[in-house]
């Protein structure tokens, strides 16, 4: 019997083997093909200890329903999306649990042009097909086709991405990279070496037991290794730490300070607009006003959107945007005629900015000095809806300048604003606050925390 809790808003994810196992994978393969009816499915997997077993079962399900499996091996999810889009395959599945701890695994699903399936656009349909367990038996089974050179083609494509950075301007800088024992190391090694960038590697060996730290770059404890190394170096290094499947990365300046994802989004937007004047840039609604301000200052069009890759990729398609960034360290680009994450382009954009402007990471961030942000704070509460209703009611009485519900509750005053939203993947409620002064920020964070904690 399938555990229905594994079907999330943006992917399928659970603990192996109690919530998700080979039987589940087999049925997901069958249901995926039954729902989309693709001729072929590109399949990649990360290095988690259960990924190979799940690949075998998933592939059997896909083949049983008559589609071919395009096996591209163990690669990052960036490369999976690239393969679906660039080679014009019908669909793709990445076996990964992204940033979750080692006991988890799961599946990220995409159709043609690497368009993701979400809860509303296919994941619930796939769940229902599995629950019904009434699959057709096609006359002909599919076959496994191994496709090589995806990594080489991916790297070559990045190096030719003239709309995002100029390789000729990249100097042989020094960068400390923590691959979190996930899928980023191989691409970083080959890509950066071609540009003469010196790498100090940390945790580059893929190891699904994640022996050094969990593959979540947002958690401070997981950045301890790279921050320690940055503080040991005398040169003006900077740092990058990737998550398990490499679709997310966080940057750390030469002083060992983490760069908030929205500040990085603003810097990457500035670089994108330098190369593409008047381009449309997307940012998620949790972001600092810095993103909107720097986009507009540099002649671009800034568009706020909902949190989550499925929503952002749809917005990018609708607005024909070239770049989008999330607070969580996801950076999206237009690749061919598709839209998906590419952490490696983000890394090279920043490297080129540091090279061409002859600045350290902290000097680039001087642009953000008048923006005071809290970062995302998480709270476990008994009733998320009740919290949102109570906070909305309280702040309506304060007559804010603006209140909207694009994703959760957003409230704006003249000198500060906040967003409070339910997590789509965890039993949490999430809060972000920004103010025009540090004193205002501290005061408003304290007030909101106290209001939320009444419902814990």
Query: pLDDT tens digits for 188-221?
Result: 999 999 999 999 999 999 999 999 999 999 999 9
The residues facing 332 across adjacent strands are 324, 341
Q: What CATH number does residue 292 fall under? A: 3.40.120.10
Non-local (6+) Cβ contacts of 359 within 8 A are 353
Mean of the per-residue pLDDT values of the chain: 96
* 231 part of a folded domain: no
What is the model's pLDDT at position 423? 84
* Co-location of 244 and 268 in the same domain: yes
How far, CA to CA in Å, does 149 sit from each of 64, 75, 79, 246, 424?
27, 11, 11, 19, 35
* Co-location of 67 and 115 in the same domain: yes
* Co-location of 258 and 322 in the same domain: yes
* Co-location of 248 and 129 in the same domain: no
DSSP string, 171-232: ---EEEEE-TTTTSHHHHHHHHHHTT-EEEEES-S--TT-SSS-S-TTSGGGGHHHHHHHHH
* Co-location of 396 and 273 in the same domain: no
Strand pairing of 144-146 and 104-110? unpaired
pLDDT for 77-125, tens place per residue?
999 999 999 999 999 999 999 999 999 999 999 999 999 999 999 999 9
| Residue 98 annotated as catalytic | yes
Of the candidates 34, 91, 98, 328, the residue annotated as catalytic is: 98
Note the pTM of the prediction, 2 decimals.
0.95
Residue 165's domain comprises: 155-176+193-199+236-368
* Co-location of 409 and 281 in the same domain: no
pLDDT for 4-13, tens place per residue?
999 998 999 9
* Co-location of 331 and 377 in the same domain: no
* Co-location of 13 and 76 in the same domain: yes
CA distance 408 to 163: 34
Band (425; pLDDT cuts 50, 70, 90):
low
């Amino acid at each position: 019997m399938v555990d229905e809790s594994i079907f999330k808003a943006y992917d399928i994810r659970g603990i192996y083997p109690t919530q998700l196992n080979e039987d589940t994978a087999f049925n997901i393969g069958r249901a995926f093909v039954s729902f989309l009816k693709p001729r072929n499915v590109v399949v990649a997997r990360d290095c988690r200890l259960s990924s190979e077993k799940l690949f075998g079962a998933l592939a059997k399900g896909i083949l049983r329903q008559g589609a071919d499996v395009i096996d591209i091996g163990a690669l990052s999810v960036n490369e999976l999306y690239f393969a679906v889009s660039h080679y014009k395959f019908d669909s793709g599945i990445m076996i990964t649990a992204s940033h979750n701890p080692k006991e988890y695994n799961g599946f990220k699903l995409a159709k043609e042009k690497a368009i993701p399936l979400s809860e509303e656009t296919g994941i619930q349909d796939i769940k229902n097909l599995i629950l019904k367990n009434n699959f057709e038996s096609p006359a002909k089974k599919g076959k496994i086709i191994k496709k090589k050179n995806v990594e080489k083609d991916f790297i070559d494509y990045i190096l030719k991405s003239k709309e995002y950075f100029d390789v000729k301007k990249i100097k042989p800088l020094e960068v400390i990279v923590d691959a979190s024992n996930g899928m980023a190391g191989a691409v970083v090694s080959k890509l950066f070496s071609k540009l003469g960038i010196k790498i100090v590697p940390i945790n580059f060996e893929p190891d699904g037991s994640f022996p050094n730290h969990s593959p979540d770059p947002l958690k401070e404890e997981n950045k301890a290794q790279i921050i320690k190394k940055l503080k040991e170096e005398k040169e003006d290094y900077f740092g990058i730490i990737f998550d398990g499947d490499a679709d997310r990365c966080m940057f750390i300046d030469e002083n060992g300070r983490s760069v908030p994802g929205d500040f990085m989004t603003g810097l990457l937007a500035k670089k994108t607009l330098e190369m593409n004047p008047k381009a449309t840039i997307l940012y998620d609604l949790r972001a600092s006003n810095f993103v909107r301000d720097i986009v507009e200052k540099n002649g671009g069009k800034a568009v706020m959107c909902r949190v989550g890759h499925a929503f952002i990729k749809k917005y990018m398609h609708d607005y024909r945007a070239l770049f989008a960034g999330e607070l969580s360290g996801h950076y999206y680009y237009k690749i061919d005629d598709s839209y998906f994450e590419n952490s490696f382009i983000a890394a090279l954009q920043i490297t080129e900015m540091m090279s061409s402007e002859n600045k350290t990471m902290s000097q680039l961030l001087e642009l953000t000095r008048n923006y005071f942000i809290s970062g995302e704070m998480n709270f476990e509460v008994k009733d998320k809806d009740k919290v949102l209703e109570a906070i909305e009611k309280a702040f309506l009485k304060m007559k804010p300048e603006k209140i909207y519900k694009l994703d959760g509750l957003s409230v704006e005053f003249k000198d500060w604003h906040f967003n409070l939203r339910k997590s789509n993947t965890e039993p949490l409620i999430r809060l972000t606050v920004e103010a025009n002064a540090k004193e205002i920020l501290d005061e408003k964070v304290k007030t909101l925390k106290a209001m939320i904690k009444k419902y814990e």
